[in-house]
Structure 1
Amino acid sequence: MTKDAVKSAGRRQSRIPILAVPLLSVALWSGGISPAAQAAEPGKDATTASLPRILVLATGGTIAGQADPRATGAYKSGQITGEQLVQSVPGLDKLAKLNAEQISSIGSQDMNDKVWFGLARRIQDAFDKNEADGVVVTHGTDTLEETAFFLDNVLRGDKPVVVVGSMRPASAASADGPGNLYEAVQVASDPRSRGRGVMAVLNDKIEGARSVTKTNTTSIETFASANGGPVGYVDTAGGIRFMAPAAGLKRTTYQLPAGEQLPRVEIVYSHANMDAVPIEDAISHGAKGIVLAGVGDGNTSKPALDALEAAAKKGIMVVRSTRVRSGFVTRNVEVDDDKNGFVVSEDLNPQKARVLAQLLIASGMTAPAELQRAFTATW
């Protein structure tokens, strides 16, 4: 078969176009392009006809990063397209019929409302029009948990959405991206993933959007759910093992506000010898809500608490969360939340409490009891 014929046959067998040249200097990841993507296989058309349809939406991040010469281990995020990522993982074409689209090409430290809205609208549109049976979002790890939680609160329906990233760039000798992406597609393709909300898949674990958080700056064993534990495990040999059936509970979802921006909500970090300046500064810059990353059970100094109480009396939403990695923030224990008009975050860390506060403010919700119910864990 000629080179042109090989490429033509490969294109007929996959919705993802085949590149005519090797990807990057190291074929992106060890293993390069799947042999199945380079040449046609007998009977493959009949097999792929029954495969689930997975839409891959790429946003950038370390998983799409390439080495940078400025220092050993340095890299630039978002240098590789979603299409290239899909092409580079051997065997993906046997799991699902894949379609890759680029939403953004940024490091997740630059994640913003515009990208969030674009993701949410594209995913919802794909589900409403029955374009896909599941969605995989490739993402940087720094704010992955916030994006997953945001999507979990705005997407309707029970089709699976999986957010995936990596701690090492695609050009690294021991890149964790290919395995993570393969397993993310596995999970998104599995019928048992329906009705579980948005999930994160990294390092052989399936984590729920509400509970997952990044716990280490560089280790690939970084994502964990301190209060709830993983919802399941996945590996290429043993398959997928969920720890419990899908709950089947109706999730509360919120409408995206008009425009491309959520209301301003600031996180204020509590510390020894804290005064009211950070809170007053947030108010002066137009914050509609303030999340306290408090010490212990969401507590802080008296000057800071007095400033937060004054903010609540002005109609600013005040949410008490904690800078501590695990545990719940409980109402009316050390702080009189009923008197002060505060909301407690329950199990939500400050960054996720901020996302929910933004959505609640955008929806016009103001009654303290109603706000507290929205924060209360349902699992």
Structure 2
Amino acid sequence: MQATSRLRAFAATAALLAASAIAHAQALPNVVILATGGTIAGAGASAINSATYAAAKVGVDKLIAGLPELAKVANVRGEQVFQVASESLTDDNLLTLAKRVSALAKQSDIDGIVITHGTDTLEETAFFLTLTVHTAKPIVVVGSMRPGTALSADGALNLYNAVNVAASKDAMGKGVLVTMNDEIQSGRDVSKSINIKTEAFKSQWGPLGMIVEGKNYWFRAPVKRHTMQSEFDIDTITALPPVEIAMGYEGVLSTAIDALGKSGIKALVHGGTGNGSVANRIVPNLQKVRADGVVVIRSSRVPDGFVLRNAEQPDDKYDWVVAHDLRPQKARILAMVAMTKTSDTKELQRIFWEY
């Protein structure tokens, strides 16, 4: 009789615990991690290999399993979208990823989305998502500068912070975010500034906030158009027009400009020196490229500052566009997206001011 009573009590306790676990899980936000590879999924030969390693080796399920703390933040599940080092991603990969993010964002049972990504082109993907995915739900792109096998690896905390931000209601409506080195950065503004330190991602305008022990602290909000305010929608984009970059430097020749101008591209970003300066000997070559129907966009290779229109070059006279504060690689992303709708230079200039 006593044994039967004990069994009943045990069963009742187990049922209560199960019900409590279910209620706890139901109360947590639902976050999907879309994995694309990169250093955050990398592995080195030993613990001292922080800069020498193979990227894109660890699958998303293993990344999640290695962070049991995530279970206290959100109901997390993962999808392996790609498994590549980010320098090898293509425009088609961008389209595939953005369309998957958009589809998940439309699901009522999804509260936030995290994308694990290699750091080499992380800023480009983050900006592309900023421009094309229509949602107020948090989208967070995250990577690491050291593989998980290294001493003082940064990936685990970066990923924990990313899930924490993606699960937070206070991150809604702030556009696509990047969480690295305890900072919350705007996906539009942030760029990789160094290749061997964990504080690699910076914005000249500063971070939006910080994450400390799982709590978000916000200090500013993005003012450029993004996500819900964007006139571009990934659900209507089927292909991206070809846009290339030609860099400026001392002694530059017109070789790259001439070749790219004949390659069938729709726009050419010139990554000039200083204020988007263009060497006098290649100005006629850029004018010819524009006369042949290719849009010329004047950017700068300088990390900070912005390009002033009709300074250094008479942009109105030449019918060129200036990239504002976007570095060449981000100017290329915006040009591709914008030119899915227009090739009119006045409209393109408006877009570069607003985004």
- Normalised by the length of structure 2, the TM-score is 0.89
Q: 2:303 aligns with which of 325, 329, 332?
A: 325
Aligned length: 335
- What residue in structure 1 maps to residue 34 of structure 2? 57
Counterpart of 2:185, as a letter, is E
- What residue in structure 2 maps to residue 170 of structure 1? 148
Task: Answer 1 or 2: which has greater helix percent.
Answer: 2
**Structure 1 residue 377: deviation in Å?**
4.3
User: What are the Cα deviations for residues 309-354 of structure 1, in whole angstroms up to 9, with x where unaligned?
Assistant: 1111222111111000000101001110001011000011100000
- The worse-fitting range, judged by mean Cα deviation, of 42-51 and 295-304 is 42-51
- What residue in structure 2 maps to residue 66 of structure 1? 43
How far apart, in 1, do the equivalents of 2:110 and 2:188 lie?
A: 24
How far apart, in 2, do the equivalents of 1:98 and 1:171 lie?
A: 23
- What residue in structure 1 maps to residue 82 of structure 2? 104
How far apart, in 2, do the equivalents of 1:183 and 1:308 lie?
A: 45
Secondary structure of the corresponding residue to residue 75 of structure 1: coil
Alignment of 1:97-176 (within 5 A): 97-176=75-154
Counterpart of 1:229, as a letter, is G
- The worse-fitting range, judged by mean Cα deviation, of 95-104 and 73-82 is 73-82
How far apart, in 1, do the equivalents of 2:179 and 2:304 lie?
A: 20
- What residue in structure 1 maps to residue 23 of structure 2? 46
How far apart, in 1, do the equivalents of 2:224 and 2:314 lie?
A: 35
- What residue in structure 2 maps to residue 335 of structure 1? 313
Query: CA 1:76–1:248 in structure 2 vs 1: closer, same or farther (change >3 Å)?
Result: closer
- The worse-fitting range, judged by mean Cα deviation, of 122-131 and 269-278 is 122-131
How far apart, in 2, do the equivalents of 1:241 and 1:111 lie?
A: 33
- What residue in structure 2 maps to residue 316 of structure 1? 294
Q: 1:368 aligns with which of 337, 345, 350?
A: 345
**Structure 1 residue 181: deviation in Å?**
0.3
Instruction: Please tell me whether the aligned partners of residues 320 and 345 of structure 1 are also in contact (alpha carbons under 8 angstroms).
Output: yes
Secondary structure of the corresponding residue to residue 57 of structure 1: strand
How far apart, in 2, do the equivalents of 1:236 and 1:177 lie?
A: 15
Instruction: Please tell me whether the aligned partners of residues 313 and 341 of structure 1 are also in contact (alpha carbons under 8 angstroms).
Output: no
Instruction: Please tell me whether the aligned partners of residues 54 and 185 of structure 1 are also in contact (alpha carbons under 8 angstroms).
Output: yes
Q: Which has the larger radius of gyration?
A: 2
Q: Structure 1 unaligned runs (5+)?
A: 1-39
2:239 is the counterpart of 1:274: no
- What residue in structure 2 maps to residue 287 of structure 1? 265
Secondary structure of the corresponding residue to residue 129 of structure 1: coil
- What residue in structure 2 maps to residue 9 of structure 1? none
Instruction: Please tell me whether the aligned partners of residues 82 and 100 of structure 1 are also in contact (alpha carbons under 8 angstroms).
Output: yes
**Structure 1 residue 120: deviation in Å?**
0.9
Query: CA 1:232–1:270 in structure 2 vs 1: closer, same or farther (change >3 Å)?
Result: same
- What residue in structure 2 maps to residue 242 of structure 1? 218
Instruction: Please tell me whether the aligned partners of residues 99 and 234 of structure 2 are also in contact (alpha carbons under 8 angstroms).
Output: no
How far apart, in 2, do the equivalents of 1:267 and 1:290 lie?
A: 6
Instruction: Please tell me whether the aligned partners of residues 195 and 247 of structure 1 are also in contact (alpha carbons under 8 angstroms).
Output: no
How far apart, in 2, do the equivalents of 1:245 and 1:288 lie?
A: 33
Instruction: Please tell me whether the aligned partners of residues 155 and 253 of structure 1 are also in contact (alpha carbons under 8 angstroms).
Output: no
Query: CA 1:245–1:188 in structure 2 vs 1: closer, same or farther (change >3 Å)?
Result: same
Instruction: Please tell me whether the aligned partners of residues 272 and 298 of structure 2 are also in contact (alpha carbons under 8 angstroms).
Output: yes
**Structure 1 residue 136: deviation in Å?**
0.2
**Structure 1 residue 223: deviation in Å?**
0.3
User: What are the Cα deviations for residues 244-290 of structure 1, in whole angstroms up to 9, with x where unaligned?
Assistant: 35769652242449886422111111011222211001112222110
Instruction: Please tell me whether the aligned partners of residues 133 and 234 of structure 2 are also in contact (alpha carbons under 8 angstroms).
Output: no
Instruction: Please tell me whether the aligned partners of residues 103 and 115 of structure 1 are also in contact (alpha carbons under 8 angstroms).
Output: no
How far apart, in 2, do the equivalents of 1:115 and 1:248 lie?
A: 25
Query: CA 1:260–1:76 in structure 2 vs 1: closer, same or farther (change >3 Å)?
Result: farther
Secondary structure of the corresponding residue to residue 56 of structure 2: coil
User: What are the Cα deviations for residues 96-125 of structure 1, in whole angstroms up to 9, with x where unaligned?
Assistant: 011100000000111112221121111111
User: What are the Cα deviations for residues 147-183 of structure 1, in whole angstroms up to 9, with x where unaligned?
Assistant: 0000111100211100000000011121100000000
Query: CA 1:210–1:262 in structure 2 vs 1: closer, same or farther (change >3 Å)?
Result: same
Instruction: Please tell me whether the aligned partners of residues 268 and 279 of structure 1 are also in contact (alpha carbons under 8 angstroms).
Output: yes
Give the superposed CA RMSD: 2.1
Query: CA 1:167–1:42 in structure 2 vs 1: closer, same or farther (change >3 Å)?
Result: farther
Q: Structure 2 unaligned runs (5+)?
A: 1-16
**Structure 1 residue 206: deviation in Å?**
0.6
Counterpart of 1:118, as a letter, is T
